[in-house]
Every structure is written in structure tokens, then in C-alpha cells.
Structure 1
């Protein structure tokens, strides 16, 4: 008889973005290992990004439980158009925030702990406690953010003898945007206490990066396993690469993730290289922060910009496969060393070179080097970055711009699901 595993997630199709794809893919492959996944998600979630194409990837005959959730963002949207951008993670620099924006951030940070979905914890716990007993569930998996979902797992664990895996797609108290939420000392303490309770009462912790594992090891003695995000074999074909020398960033490019070192390098190259000026194009595919656009204007790059906004996952894969170079940008902060964006793994199998910029010692640097899929630069390596762009452009002109990736198989969704299966079976 198959083991039954209950997966508690906020993000599920028609939600778009990388957060939904991790568990959508696990659910796809778990039945191959005699594990029956049962998904629990909101029936009326206020998703900041919608991608209806992902509905087609939901496996047939999968049990999906849905219960309503109270969404404070829905109410706030009636009063301010800025709420939607904040819910997407697009937060302006402090000196550019309006009074309503500052107030909303303060309320979000101090009245909704750990996050704005906290009101779903109690009704979900009540519903699932009965369901688990009635349907003989072996294991409960909670995935966050939103980290309030881990509180559902915590309360269920306190009531029932059930195995609980807490999956952290991002860190909790050290995630970059926490510093922008105007947290009081009391709120910071509450976050720390809740984080500690989850980490010390779950049977197994799963994280997506080695740095997060190291961080959590200082808080708990419970077993912690790194299962990164990964790639699936997408049935998307592209016949030709872009004719122009395209540098493409796929996904949200938030205001805090503003690589002025790159814009400056591109501007200088354009001013000194007529061939580059004629061939260059910058593709930004996804949500783009206002500060990014302002910086592109400052460096006279607007004329080279192709800004498409959010596209479906299949369209995003097409952009990845036809672009000459793929951009990966991370905030220059100690807090972001642990962030490994889900798109990195799709980048790695797109057969296009990656140009990545991030903090010194970032986990993404090790991955890119290990797989031979591109080049990584920190924010102090201006000359080296500029030189690499010119090297890539020369290869583009000679039609030799390519990549020879190695060791990618272990990041396939099937291989990663096998790691998860081993954890489930060993509980």
C-alpha cells in the first residue's frame, strides 16, 4: 500500500513563479516511488502572479484539498495600488516610499507575524487534524514561505503522532526583505521564537542551499538536508538563437537587486565599441522595479531595453533557450549568499552561458563553477566583469558562444524527488 503524504502549500496553480514549481514537480514524480501525495492549498488565494499554463502540469488522479483563506492583501488592494507590488516583493528604497507605503510595511511586519497568511493557520489545523486521522496520513510536509504554513505543521505535530518535514525554500529571519518591514524589537523576537519552535519540533528540515543549512544548524540539532530546486525536461523547442547579442534576465528584477556595476560596464562598452552598440539588446522578462528602470536611464540603456513583463513558464523557457547570454543577479548582501534562485537550474540546462553577479561567497557561484555553465562575479570585480562581457561578445561574433555543462543530472526533478523519497521512507 502506498504511503500517504500530505503537502501543505500556499502556492499551487494557477499561481505563477518559481515557488509553485518545486512542489508541483515533486507531486508529479512521487507516485513513481509508491508514495501518494495529497495537496492542501487555499481555495481563494490572492496570488501576485498568475500562470494558468501550469494547471496542465498537475498530474491526473492527485487528491487536492482546498479550504478558504482570509487574505488581508485583498482588502488593502482596495485602498492602494502599491499593495500589489509589495505582495510581489517589489519594495522601493526607504527614501522613495510614500507615507501609505511605509505604513503598510509597518503593519505587515508587526501585525502579521510571521506573515499575512497567519489567519489560515487555525482553520487549517482544525480541518487537517481530522483529515489526517480519517485517512491514515503517514507524513505531513509544510513548505514556506509563507512561513506561517510551518505553524500548521507545528500545531498538527503537537496534536498527533505524525511525521513532519518542514521545507524551507528561503530562510526565515535572515531573508533580505525582513529588514524592509520596519520590525520592532518585539516583532523580531517573535519571529525568532517561532523559527526556533519549527526547527526544533519538525522531524526533518529540508533547505534549498548549503548556507541555509549552516545557518539552521546553529539553531537546531534536528536533521537538515539540502534538496535544491531543479530542472525538468521541458518540451519547448527553439530553432534559432537571437540574431542580436541578447543579455536576458528571466524573472522578477526587484529594486534592491539593481546591478549598477553591470549597467556601467554595458554603457562604457557601448560608448567605445560600435559593433557592440549595433548588436546589443537587454531583455528583462518579468516584474521590474522602478529603480532598475531609473538606473537604465541614468546609464543611457533604455534604447537597448526589451521589457516584456511576466510571461508564462513555457514562454520563459523559450527566452532562456534563444538568448545569447542569461543574466542571474543577486543582491549584494550577506543575507543573500544562501539564495539559489529556481531559475538557475533551468538556465543550466538551456545550453546558454550564464553571467551571474552576486555577493562574494554566494552558493550560486559554487554551482555555476561546478557545472561549468557560466561565470560569476561579485560586486567588486568591475574590470573582470567588463572583460567577460567583451569575451562573450567576441565569441558571439565568431559564432562560438556556447556552453559545455557537466554534472547536471543530479539536479533533475526526478533525481531530487528520489532524495525526498529517501527522507520520507527513513522517518
Structure 2
């Protein structure tokens, strides 16, 4: 098969959206021709993180405009401290609303106010289309213009192109945008998907959401992980009366808040002052963390590393006792279906996971299957505090890696690539 992946977030960038098609392409390219069409910044010599696309060909199209490159590693983490004044919150909210409108007409995406070269994409895709066989064209949302590319080639080469519209995120009814909840935005998606041959989504919640707007087949292919994992049970040794917790994800006011965990941390420290508990953070949102930590008076036990390259963040996780996962702290029902890529990253380790998520989160049972990891809702701060205290007191942490392995193995990107391949062979009637 000739497979063309339109993924505007480059595998070179330090972004969760970069990983999905880098890893799937890596394994699919072992048997098939795969070309990844992506964007690149004007900076010629930079590497954000190690990446592996297997035998895939990478075609990079220079951006037409970028206000800044937020994916480049800076030498000073202070570059990433973001304040949250009322005016800045207003501007961010305005930007979220304007993006929903502007992306329907311009090839833009966030991450530095990026303007992509739409015609450049059309030209490069045309070069790798093959006349003698069906071409599988996979477009990834967001940004929206990738869907327009899929629609363009499906209309132009209806018999020659099999278009898969892949959704990492929903294209309507977003938490951060009121405009996205309007019926007209839903109709935009419904209209453009009329030309798709297959719709692919990363969560069961998105299956339900897109089933409400289209009668097209919806294929569930989640995100995953790509590393060798152990299948033997572990007893993790740690210092007694000590606990090191780390979080290497993003923070978002209302939707992914750190405050429930910091409140629990304060409660635990006040109840058991002799316990030595530390919290390590690495990410873009240091200012949010510092503000909330001062409010809860736990800033003295926090180590803020700012933004780290991916390999350094993974090293930080390895040196910690517990991995904090903040899935969703908002109030909308859609939160139950959020499957952040961080969860697969965490479950592929031998570390306990403390997750903050809705009570009906669709991955709760999978996370807790190892016998020590726990999922709490944002209001269970006293329960979280007791959990921290119980782990801190222990010298050995018993984790059922065999149970975790039985769950996580299906999320390995090799397995997901094989699942996609089988679906394509079925849809294209290839033996």
C-alpha cells in the first residue's frame, strides 16, 4: 500500500500531537510505503527530541509564518514562565474563539501562531500519489486545514484515494471555546466528512460524539506507547517515610488544574509533618504551579524544573516514586473520555500512578488494575492526602506489573499499527 500521512505537527517537535503518527508510521512502514507530510520552522539546525519513523519518508514544508517557535528548546527555562493576569486570560480566551473561525479559512494552528503552506502540501502530496494502486491518505486533526486537504484529494481522485480522517481531538464542542459548541461548527465537520472513507478517533467518547453527526464507519484507534515493557511483578524499593512525586504534563485553568493535588499535599504535610514528601514538576506552566503552591503554602517542597526535553523528563520520572496524572478537572461530561497520551507513557513504566480524573473516566479500571495505582476525582483531596501518606510510610511498593502488562500491551504502537493495517486490508479488499 502507498500511505500518505498529513501530520502538520512534525515528529521533530516536542508536542504530544507529534508522537501518534511518528510511532504508527514507524511500524506500518515495515511493510508498506509511508510518506509523512509535515511542516517545519525556518530554523534549519534543531532537534527537539529523538524520533523514529522507521522506513517512512519525511517531507517537510517550511511554514509561511510563525510568530515564535514554542517547540525549540531554550537554554533558560524562564522563557517558559507564563503569567496569568486577567488581561492575558482574556486574550487567551479570545484566541481560542477566533481560532475556531479563522481555521476554517486559513491554514493555521496554535503552537506559535503558525501559518502553514497549504499549496505546498497539495504539491508534495501530488508528487507521491501512485497511479497503479489505491493511495491511502490519512489526515490528522487538528489543524482543520488537514481535513480540507483530505476533502480536496478525495474529490479530485475519488477512485484513486482512500481518505481517512483521523481525530486526536474533537473538532467541535470544545471545552475552551463557546463558539465551537454552536450548531454551525458541528455542521462544518458533518459536511466535510461526507467525503471521508473512514473516520478514526482516539477514544470511546469520540466514537459516540462523531456517531451523532455521521453515518460513516468510525474506527477506534487510541494513542499508545513505544517501549519494551516488563511483565514480571515488582517490589519497588524506596526510602521509608519519604515520597517523591513527579508531574511532566500541562496545566490548564478549569480543565487540568494542579490545585486539588496541592491541597492534598498540604493536608498530608500538616497531618504528618515528619514525612518527607517532595513534588517535582517539568513543563511550560511554571507560573500556574508557583501561584497555586504559594496559595497552599507548599512552595517549599516543590522542585520546579521548567521545560525539559523529553528524554530529560523521562529521566525525572524514573527517579521518582509516584507519577501524577491530571486527566481532567472540568465539569463537562466529555471529560470521561479523555485519553491523554501521558497515561500510556505512565502505564508503560513500573511506577505507581496517582490520577485525578472524573469518577466515570473510561480508563479508571485499567489504571487501577496494578493494585497500587489510584484514580481520584478533583474533590477527593482528603482521600488523595491519605493515599500519599500511606505510600510515604512504606519502604516497599508492591505493583502488579503482570496485570498492567496484560492491559497495556494492546496499546503498544506496534499492535496499533497492525490493527490499522488489518482495517485497511479489509476496507480495500486486499488479501
Which residue number corresponds to residue 300 of structure 1?
297
Structure 2: where are the runs of 5+ without partners? 71-78, 110-114, 230-235
- Judging by fraction of residues, say which structure has more helix: 1
Query: How far 1:272 sits from its partner (Å)?
Result: 2.2
Query: How far 1:357 sits from its partner (Å)?
Result: 0.6
How many residues are aligned here? 398
Matched residues in 2 for 1:270 and 1:379: separation? 19
Contact 2:286-2:306 within 8 A present in 1 as well: no
Which residue number corresponds to residue 233 of structure 1?
227
Contact 1:352-1:403 within 8 A present in 2 as well: no
Cα offsets for 1:72-122 (capped at 9, x unmatched): 54599xxxxxxxx9xx9x8958x4537765665554343333772475444
Of the three residues 101, 104, 107, the one matched with 1:113 is 104
Which residue number corresponds to residue 197 of structure 2?
203
SS in 1 for 2:13: coil
Superposed counterparts of 1:270-289, under 5 Å: 270-276=269-275, 279-288=276-285
Which residue number corresponds to residue 326 of structure 1?
323
Which residue number corresponds to residue 153 of structure 2?
156
Call closer, same or farther: CA 1:387–1:233 in 2, change over 3 Å.
same
Matched residues in 2 for 1:361 and 1:92: separation? 31
Contact 2:164-2:196 within 8 A present in 1 as well: yes
Query: How far 1:135 sits from its partner (Å)?
Result: 7.9
Contact 2:225-2:345 within 8 A present in 1 as well: yes
Of the three residues 37, 43, 60, the one matched with 2:34 is 37
Alignment of 1:350 onto 2:372: no
Cα offsets for 1:120-151 (capped at 9, x unmatched): 44442354245425685520011122232122
Query: How far 1:325 sits from its partner (Å)?
Result: 0.8
Which residue number corresponds to residue 252 of structure 1?
250
Matched residues in 2 for 1:370 and 1:160: separation? 47
Alignment of 1:70 onto 2:64: yes
SS in 1 for 2:216: coil
Contact 1:251-1:310 within 8 A present in 2 as well: no
Matched residues in 1 for 2:201 and 2:300: separation? 41
Call closer, same or farther: CA 1:380–1:425 in 2, change over 3 Å.
same
Matched residues in 1 for 2:270 and 2:25: separation? 50
Superposed counterparts of 1:7-406, under 5 Å: 7-32=5-30, 34-44=31-41, 52-55=48-51, 57-59=52-54, 61-71=55-65, 73-74=67-68, 92=84, 95-97=86-88, 104-105=95-96, 107-113=98-104, 116-117=108-109, 120-129=117-126, 131-133=128-130, 136=133, 138-161=135-158, 162-179=161-178, 183=179, 188=182, 190-233=184-227, 244-256=242-254, 257-276=256-275, 279-288=276-285, 290-329=287-326, 330-334=328-332, 335-370=334-369, 374-395=373-394, 398-400=395-397, 402-404=399-401, 405-406=403-404
SS in 1 for 2:323: strand
Contact 1:71-1:116 within 8 A present in 2 as well: no
Call closer, same or farther: CA 1:212–1:107 in 2, change over 3 Å.
closer
Contact 2:39-2:116 within 8 A present in 1 as well: no
Contact 2:29-2:56 within 8 A present in 1 as well: no
Q: Please, what TM-score do these two structures have when normalized by structure 1?
A: 0.82
